[in-house]
Amino acid sequence: MHVRRITCVLLAAAAVLTGLAAPAAAAPVTLRFVTANVDFGVSQANVKQDWQNVIAPNADIALLQETKSIRLADFVNTDTWLVLQDTSSEDRAGSALVIRRSVFTDRESFGLVKGVDASPCPDGGIMTRWIAKTNIKLANGRWIRVASLHMPPARCQTGPGSPYDDMGFSIVNFVRGSDRLTVLGADWNKIVDQDPNDIGARANLEPNGPNDGLRIDGFMYSRSLDNCCLTRLGAIHSEHRPIQIKMTIPA
């Protein structure tokens, strides 16, 4: 009887230890990405309204463009959100990231990668354009890279060697510099689904944008990422509409 009781205790202990040794695998996590050109000519008060009413309620990670005259940290709730914007100059402030704090557990430094130098394009020049980027560790342990950028407009799309062409090369080189899963949100200033300048093909990214409206705002992301439900959100004070996509990130 004592031998049987001891055996039962040992088996129960072994079961407990086995359970401790084999924790459940981390699950994939689905995040809402929103890219939005908020229009630098719009007042900060209007952008604040757009953030509170349209962008923030629909985003876990917001990738914003034309923020050069906006100081996001002045009105975004920084207890809930991490604001990543370089406000040292207008050109460096032009693209920004805002990330819900609850979706990540760690991050690497925020930084800017030069997209293209300032240029006197025909019919109006442009300032230096930057790729605003960071790497975050999600709650399921996966590190991903996210970035916001704004491609040069039509007047700077004059073929090989143009500012648009040069920034395309900068994006491809940036993406190729790491094997981490990547999501880019941008105003591409060309129809996203047509893979402007073959950026997606060259960087092994999937281009995805809306089928109506301007069609120039959207995403490029690692082809292995499951995604769904690309949609245009409600109108904001900009002529652009924010675009949302849901991405499922594996552990």
Domain CATH for 221: 3.60.10.10
- Quick one: average pLDDT of 38-64? 98
Give yes or no for a contact between 140 and 110, defined as CB atoms under 8 angstroms apart.
no
Domain assignment present for 82: yes
- pLDDT tens, position by position, 102-127: 999 999 999 999 999 999 999 899 99
Pairing relation of β-strands 143-150 and 181-187? parallel
In this prediction, residue 3 has a pLDDT band, given cuts at 50, 70 and 90, of: very low
- The pLDDT score that the predictor gives to residue 16 is 47
Domain assignment present for 159: yes
Domain assignment present for 156: yes
In this prediction, residue 2 has a pLDDT band, given cuts at 50, 70 and 90, of: low
Domain assignment present for 8: no
Residue 51 has φ and ψ, to the nearest 5°, of -65, -50
Domain assignment present for 7: no
Read off the pTM: 0.90
- pLDDT tens, position by position, 187-240: 999 999 999 999 999 999 999 999 999 999 999 999 999 999 999 999 999 999
In this prediction, residue 25 has a pLDDT band, given cuts at 50, 70 and 90, of: confident
Domain assignment present for 105: yes
> Which range of residues forms the domain containing residue 202?
27-249
The H or E element containing residue 202 is helix 199-203
- The pLDDT score that the predictor gives to residue 17 is 47
Number of structural domains found in the chain: 1
d(CA 249, CA 224): 9
- The pLDDT score that the predictor gives to residue 200 is 98
- The pLDDT score that the predictor gives to residue 195 is 98
* Average pLDDT along the chain: 93
Residue 146 has φ and ψ, to the nearest 5°, of -125, 145
In this prediction, residue 60 has a pLDDT band, given cuts at 50, 70 and 90, of: very high
| 205-214, Cβ contacts within 8 angstroms, sequence gap of 24 or more | 205/175, 208/245, 209/243, 210/241, 210/243, 213/241, 214/239, 214/240, 214/241
Domain assignment present for 99: yes
Domain assignment present for 88: yes
pLDDT of 10 over the 60 cut: no
pLDDT of 23 over the 70 cut: no
